[in-house]
Structure 1
Amino acid sequence: MGGHSIRLTSSEIGGLWAAYLQENMAVCLLTYFLHHNQDEQIKGILQKAYEISKGHVAQITSIFKDEGIPIPDGFSEKDLNLTAPPLFYDMFGLSFVYSMSRMGMVNTSFITVNTARKDVMDFFVTMLQQTTMLYQQATTLMLEKGVYDRPPLIPYPDQVEYVEKPSYISGFWKKRPLNVAEITEVFFNTERNYFSILLCMGLLQVVKDKEIHDYIAEGKKISEKQINTFNDILMREELLGNVCVSLDVTDSTVSPFSNRLIVTLFHSLNSIDVTLIGHALSLSMRTDLAVYYEKYILEILLYSAKGFEMMVERGWMLKPPHAPDRRKLQN
């Protein structure tokens, strides 16, 4: 990818930097799941995800080397303890690919629309296509295995209607039924938090560091509150609620991951969670939903700040590339 006379823009550097850290972490985690997983169908998807993420890391490394940009300090097998007993059963590996590919499509699409240099744009377009393919394969296999919890069904509309009253947005007194966009966001927000709770359950069994243990426990409570809030809304609308179809955590008490990897993973999940709840907020036309989403965005931001401070104090937080301090240079 050498020979370019066009310099990378700040958005392209930022996108590549973020993608490198995300994909490098994915390689490490997928190495762990591949080591333990015994289900041949799931193992096939894990292997494909591993090869794709490893290829992304290699491509970004090549671009950075060509441009003279330092390679970020990532993770390696030193951050894994593959001799530890399995912390999750096989099905969680499939849930991991499903959840991370859903979130990856969101992140990658945001980055892609901010790129222009051909090699960088081509890279992210391909990355988006590969992530979409992984999501499609993971979802198909979950359906086959009966572990995909489908969103609520509603009767098909029989006519086109217009909003007739401003009270359409009311959510605290006389409420209208949820529309399809609102049902979608409530449902998948709940599903995402079930995944987070399973992750927290496993890590709480193995993390010995008190500060990190308390941080994970707080994250679990935040996810539980969201599930209770939004499942209650679905139940009151007689749409039922999400059902956690399986318990994927073993009884192991030996950590397979380094503390740095664990806290960095939570920092990454917090970031995408704020993005997705913000998206849900933008689509919600009932005021009660908007209030709940605003409340949880603030709560996650405060929670994320604690993780950030912990990473800085422990020397784990990488500083992203930034603009020069012109005032300092001028003086």
Structure 2
Amino acid sequence: MEPHNKQHNIKLTCTEIGGLWGIFNQESMNVQFLTYFLHHLQDEEIKPLAKEALHISEGRLEKVKQIFLEENFPIPEGFSDGDVNLAAPQLFHDVFTLSYLYMTNRLGMINFSYFASNNVRLDILDFFTECIHTTTEMFGKAVKLMLSKGIYDRPPKMEYPKEIEFVQKGSFLNGIVGKKRPLNAIELSEIFFNIERNYFSVIIMLGFAQVINDKKLKNHILRGKSISEKQIQFFNDLMMAEDLLGTVTVGMEVTASTVSPFSDKLIFALINMLNSVDISLISHAMSVTMRTDLTAQYSKIIAEVMNYAKDTFDILIEKEWLEQPPLVTDRKKLLE
């Protein structure tokens, strides 16, 4: 797509600043993880995809830097090669790199669409539109490779309805008391992807807990792993109760290494991001759910994840690992 010529008298708005700032930190994190994965990667099918993903992330970083320089806006610190120890042994088996590409691009499609919808300066909109395009392509390539390797767990199938139906009074919302109606397609989809997302979290939390030395940080990571496992257990049990097959793991993706390849700061930045994504997607699931038992469960899950996210945030502040997002001018302070 040909970029629009920037009108130099139009400054960035808060939504454009927030989106670009968030993308910079997200992609600088991505670059470090992908660089480490590629350093150890042996699978000749996954390697080209990981290289392409790294190239895309590096390109996005340079684009945001260029925009910020043109605007005389301070470039965020983000993450650097000092946050990764390439000499550390391989922490995750090769297949996890493919899981990482699948999950980060799936979540990226959601994030970039949100950022794009908040922008009105056309050159920035073009940038986010291109991000959506490349992320969607990468997601498709990751799914295709996972299918060819037999490691992609498809969402559950369901019978097509024979005719359209309209909701009958009271029956559709039942769940806590009375006879529960079957799950609808939207609810089942949200349950499946909740399980899938939490399996990813369990694997990465296990790897992080295995290599981090600080006891307090290790316990916090294990707590996050336990929260994800509880969600998986609940939703798998629910699917089984509905006479649907639960979703199962495809295998262990963590090696026996106990040497950390990542800085504690990088580890907790990713956990912080996963918390944010989890809260957003669980909230979305609750908003489209029409059965009261599921709504009640989602409310409990959100409360638990928000509490964990708050404690994660406190650790980031305590360790001085959290870079301050751009603030608006404090007018009250100027008037003192």
Give the TM-score, by structure 1 length.
Answer: 0.98
Which of 26, 29, 51 is equivalent to 2:30?
Answer: 26
Give the structure 1 partner of residue 187 of structure 2. 182
Secondary structure of the structure 2 residue equivalent to 1:169: coil
Secondary structure of the structure 1 residue equivalent to 2:45: helix
User: Structure 1 residue 279 and structure 2 residue 291: aligned?
Assistant: no
Kept in 2, the 8 Å contact 1:231–1:242? The answer is yes
**Which string of whole-angstrom CA distances, capped at 9 and with x for unpartnered residues, describes residues 260-289 of structure 1?**
000011001110111111111111000111
Give the structure 2 partner of residue 49 of structure 1. 53
RMSD: 1.0
Q: In the TM superposition, what is the alpha-carbon distance from 1:165 to its structure 2 partner?
A: 2.1
Q: Distance in 1 between matches of 2:231 and 2:143?
A: 24
User: Structure 1 residue 211 and structure 2 residue 212: aligned?
Assistant: no
Give the structure 2 partner of residue 101 of structure 1. 105
Total equivalences in the alignment: 331
Q: Distance in 1 between matches of 2:194 and 2:7?
A: 44
Counterparts in 2 of 1:227-306, with a 5 A limit? 227-306=232-311
User: Structure 1 residue 74 and structure 2 residue 78: aligned?
Assistant: yes
Give the structure 1 partner of residue 207 of structure 2. 202
**Which string of whole-angstrom CA distances, capped at 9 and with x for unpartnered residues, describes residues 144-163 of structure 1?**
10000111111111111111
**Which string of whole-angstrom CA distances, capped at 9 and with x for unpartnered residues, describes residues 40-80 of structure 1?**
11111111110001000000000011111111111111111
**Which string of whole-angstrom CA distances, capped at 9 and with x for unpartnered residues, describes residues 145-203 of structure 1?**
00001111111111111111222111123100000000000011001100110111111
Q: Distance in 2 between matches of 1:73 and 1:209?
A: 24
Give the structure 2 partner of residue 89 of structure 1. 93
Give the structure 1 partner of residue 142 of structure 2. 138
Q: In the TM superposition, what is the alpha-carbon distance from 1:3 to its structure 2 partner?
A: 6.4
Kept in 1, the 8 Å contact 2:89–2:259? The answer is yes
Q: In the TM superposition, what is the alpha-carbon distance from 1:4 to its structure 2 partner?
A: 1.8
Amino acid at match of 2:236: N
Q: Distance in 1 between matches of 2:283 and 2:327?
A: 26
Q: Distance in 2 between matches of 1:2 and 1:78?
A: 35
User: Structure 1 residue 12 and structure 2 residue 22: aligned?
Assistant: no
Q: Distance in 1 between matches of 2:6 and 2:176?
A: 59
Moved over 2 A (4+): none
Q: In the TM superposition, what is the alpha-carbon distance from 1:92 to its structure 2 partner?
A: 0.2
Q: In the TM superposition, what is the alpha-carbon distance from 1:2 to its structure 2 partner?
A: 7.0
**Which string of whole-angstrom CA distances, capped at 9 and with x for unpartnered residues, describes residues 208-253 of structure 1?**
0112101100000000100011001100001111010111111011
Q: Distance in 2 between matches of 1:312 and 1:273?
A: 21
Give the structure 1 partner of residue 119 of structure 2. 115
Give the structure 2 partner of residue 224 of structure 1. 229
Kept in 2, the 8 Å contact 1:30–1:50? The answer is yes
Give the structure 1 partner of residue 330 of structure 2. 325
Kept in 2, the 8 Å contact 1:2–1:66? The answer is no
Q: Distance in 2 between matches of 1:3 and 1:157?
A: 52
Q: In the TM superposition, what is the alpha-carbon distance from 1:294 to its structure 2 partner?
A: 1.0
Give the structure 2 partner of residue 160 of structure 1. 164
Aligned-pair identity (%): 49
Residues 5 and 151 of structure 1, relative CA distance in 2, 3 Å threshold: same
Which of 172, 179, 188 is equivalent to 2:176?
Answer: 172
Secondary structure of the structure 2 residue equivalent to 1:168: coil
Q: Distance in 2 between matches of 1:218 and 1:196?
A: 12
Kept in 1, the 8 Å contact 2:108–2:135? The answer is yes
User: Structure 1 residue 309 and structure 2 residue 314: aligned?
Assistant: yes
Give the structure 1 partner of residue 197 of structure 2. 192
Kept in 2, the 8 Å contact 1:2–1:63? The answer is no
Secondary structure of the structure 2 residue equivalent to 1:166: coil
Kept in 1, the 8 Å contact 2:6–2:123? The answer is no
Q: Distance in 2 between matches of 1:238 and 1:45?
A: 37
**Which string of whole-angstrom CA distances, capped at 9 and with x for unpartnered residues, describes residues 64-107 of structure 1?**
11111111111111111111110011100000000011111111
Give the TM-score, by structure 2 length.
Answer: 0.97
